[in-house]
């Protein structure tokens, strides 16, 4: 079976890409739609084509999301400027036991997106929700509020890096089917660049994604994978972002007018397509701390919006305000699992003989990393687990305040998850470089780069467990999910260990 990438590559080789990539310049909405169907896309019935979602659970509140888009890939939606949207929340899937309802005006100014912060809900409960507009009803979504007080167990997942052109979202299909309290998206929700890796192919696509309409169409295409819509409808999401929601490796310090305009368009489209609790579509506030009862403090970081350029002596990845907030949170941390939602790798990844693999990640912000991790050590904050995406491969690392000093104490664990679809290095690269990375990084315990999927975490007061869930083949939309390996962190003991049952599973590096 061909995946989307193979289909596009074949079309490009035949010189016919313009008729295949759905967002190519010059296609009519109908042609774009047909091209998307050829790549496995489909949408919910209009006007709720993009599905429904919920996010940012608090003990008494979740945000409900939808967007009206009768023609998802069109530059303009055939809708009045204002469309009234009704919403309701119930305690049962049939929506008979209604607990809240209301109506909101959706506006073309925000792409007819709807963000409803529902309040007055009960903690630790499952709810169902539905929208109606223009005489039509959306599908029913399921959500969950955060609990308060003692919690004996939580089960959640992370997803990251879901290049539409790289495959089907079998991983999201797996997430949708999991019994979970919530999902965290670690970023690279869309990719702004062309559809295939080869530069000659990208040239065929025409202008890059720059305008608000471009970014809206990109998000609408991604929501055309039914598994992604199913995952959103099944679970509430906490979200951060990485670079590709705007453009590769960007930092907030590029103040040129075209870039500022482009970034504003990207931020707004991201907001319009996701269940974000925010006062501003143009500068969404992502960093936040959320509690899942007594068990977890979730610290969601935004490592893009406020960063400086990389490799500067006084550089920052957090920005001054977020850094102060993080340091204060470390000082005031209660006894709970301290889980950081971290879009890009925190742990050092040094090359043999000096330098780093990528300085777009925390390796490009050395002084700030030392300051933050030194503060964790100095304040004695325990039970730190960092959840990371971006790398398109799985890593497990011990976190040390000084990665160059192997006698400095282990103060936490970083789990870097496989990507949903975005291309990893080749099996040959992984086989050759897994041991090289392991040798140059004594804190690196595990590396596996040949697979795609998502992580599921099972957390109790005694133990934090990470299951690496992998799909068989990203070319298959219904590829089955299996557990590749499982790692544990015991409460009060920094450092992870692999479950004895899975230590024989395939990996390109495993510290003996
Ligand atoms: Fe990525």
Determine phi and psi for 32, rounding to 5 degrees: -60, -45
pLDDT, position 18: 42
Instruction: Determine the pLDDT at residue 15.
Output: 47
Question: In angstroms, what is the span from residue 393 Cα to ligand 1's centroid?
Answer: 10
Cβ contact 104:121 at 8 Å: no
3-class DSSP state of 86: strand
- Cα 317 to Cα 252, 322, 375: the distances in Å are 10, 9, 16
pLDDT score for 196: 46
Give the domain 154-187+286-510 fold. Purple Acid Phosphatase; chain A, domain 2 (3.60.21)
How much distance in Å is there from the Cα of 488 to the middle of ligand 1?
26
Token pair 């929501």 is at which residue? 223
Q: Tell me the chain's radius of gyration from C-alpha atoms.
A: 22
CA torsion angle for 1, 157, 289, 293 (degrees, to 10)?
Answer: 160
Tell me the helices (H) and strands (E) count for the chain, helix number first: 10, 23
The answer to whether 385 and 415 are in contact (CB under 8 A) is yes
Its sign, for the CA torsion 180, 182, 185, 189, is positive
Q: What is the pLDDT along the chain (512 residues), one digit of tens a residue?
A: 456 766 666 655 554 444 468 888 788 888 889 989 988 899 999 999 999 999 999 999 999 999 999 999 999 999 999 999 999 999 999 999 999 999 999 999 999 999 999 999 999 999 999 999 999 999 999 999 999 999 999 999 999 999 998 999 999 999 999 999 999 999 999 998 765 443 333 333 445 688 999 999 999 999 999 999 999 999 999 999 999 999 989 987 778 888 999 999 999 999 999 999 976 777 899 999 999 999 999 999 999 999 999 999 999 999 999 999 999 999 999 999 999 999 999 999 999 999 999 999 999 999 999 999 999 999 999 999 999 999 999 999 999 999 999 999 999 999 999 999 999 999 999 999 999 999 999 999 999 999 999 999 999 999 999 999 999 999 999 999 999 999 999 999 999 999 999 999 999 999 99
Q: Are strands 236-239 and 52-58 parallel, antiparallel or unpaired?
A: parallel
Name the residue among 304, 446, 305 with its Cα closest to residue 361. 304
Asked if 167 contacts 197 with a C-beta cutoff of 8 angstroms, the reply is no
Q: How far apart are CA 18 and CA 203, in angstroms?
A: 11
DSSP strand pairing (98-107 vs 288-292)? unpaired
Distance from the alpha carbon of residue 140 to the mean position of ligand 1, in angstroms: 30
Residue 390 CA to ligand 1 centre (angstroms): 5
Residue 359 Cα to ligand 1 midpoint, Å, equals 15
pLDDT for 11 equals 55
Q: Cis (ω within 30 of 0) for the bond into 311?
A: no
Output the CA 161–ligand 1 centroid distance in Å: 4
Question: What is the CA 373 to chain-centroid distance, rounded?
Answer: 24
User: 192 CA distance to ligand 1 centroid (A)?
Assistant: 11
Nearest Cα to 275, choosing from 95, 499, 46, 61?
61
Positions of CATH 3.60.21.70 in the chain: 154-187+286-510
Dist CA 493 CA 512 (whole Å): 20
Q: What is the pLDDT of residue 280?
A: 77
| Ligand 1 ion local residues (Cβ < 5 A) | 161, 188, 422
Q: Give residue 478 CA to ligand 1 midpoint distance, Å.
A: 22
Distance between CA atoms of residues 497 and 512, nearest Å: 11
């Amino acid at each position: 079976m061909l995946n989307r990438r193979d289909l596009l590559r074949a079309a490009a080789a035949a010189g016919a890409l313009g008729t295949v990539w759905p967002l190519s310049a010059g296609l009519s909405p109908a042609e774009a739609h047909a091209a998307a169907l050829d790549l496995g896309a489909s949408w919910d019935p209009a006007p709720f084509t993009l599905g429904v979602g919920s996010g940012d659970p608090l003990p008494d509140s979740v945000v409900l999301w939808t967007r009206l888009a009768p023609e998802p890939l069109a530059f303009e939606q055939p809708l009045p400027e204002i469309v009234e949207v009704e919403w309701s929340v119930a305690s049962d899937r049939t929506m008979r036991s209604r607990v809240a309802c209301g109506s909101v005006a959706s506006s073309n100014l925000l792409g007819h997106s709807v963000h409803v912060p529902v309040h007055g809900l009960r903690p630790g409960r499952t709810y169902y929700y539905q929208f109606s507009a223009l005489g039509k009803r959306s599908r029913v979504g399921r959500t969950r509020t955060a609990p308060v007080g003692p919690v004996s167990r939580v089960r959640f997942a992370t997803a990251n890096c879901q290049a539409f052109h790289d495959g089907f979202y079998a991983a999201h299909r797996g997430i949708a089917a999991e019994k979970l309290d919530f999902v965290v998206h670690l970023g690279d929700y869309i990719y702004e660049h062309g559809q295939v890796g080869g530069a000659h192919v990208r040239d065929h696509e025409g202008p890059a994604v720059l305008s608000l309409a471009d970014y809206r169409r990109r998000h609408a295409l991604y929501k055309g994978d039914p598994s992604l819509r199913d995952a959103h409808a099944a679970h509430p999401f906490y979200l951060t972002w990485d670079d590709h929601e705007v453009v590769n490796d960007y930092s907030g310090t590029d103040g040129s007018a075209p870039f500022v305009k482009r970034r504003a368009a990207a931020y707004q489209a991201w907001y319009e397509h996701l269940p974000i609790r925010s006062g501003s579509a143009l500068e969404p506030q992502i960093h936040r701390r959320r509690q899942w009862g007594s068990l977890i403090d979730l610290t969601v970081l935004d490592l893009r919006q406020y960063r400086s350029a990389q490799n500067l002596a006084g550089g920052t990845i957090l920005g001054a305000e977020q850094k102060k907030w993080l340091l204060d949170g470390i000082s005031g941390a209660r006894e709970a699992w301290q889980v950081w939602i971290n879009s890009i790798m925190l742990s050092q990844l040094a090359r043999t003989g000096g330098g780093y693999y990528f300085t777009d990640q925390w390796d490009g912000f050395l002084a700030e990393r030392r300051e933050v991790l030194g503060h964790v050590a100095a304040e004695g904050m325990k039970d730190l687990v960092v959840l990371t995406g971006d790398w398109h491969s799985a890593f497990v690392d011990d976190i040390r305040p000084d990665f160059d000093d192997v006698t400095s104490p282990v103060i936490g664990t970083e789990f870097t998850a496989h990507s949903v679809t975005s291309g990893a290095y080749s099996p040959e690269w992984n086989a050759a470089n897994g041991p090289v990375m392991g040798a140059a990084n004594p804190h690196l315990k595990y590396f596996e780069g040949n697979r795609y999927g998502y992580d599921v975490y099972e957390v109790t007061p005694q133990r934090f467990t990470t299951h690496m869930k992998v799909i068989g083949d990203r070319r298959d939309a219904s590829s089955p999910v299996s557990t590749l390996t499982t790692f544990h962190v015991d409460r009060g003991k920094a450092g992870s260990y692999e479950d004895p049952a899975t230590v024989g599973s395939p990996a390109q590096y495993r510290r003996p």
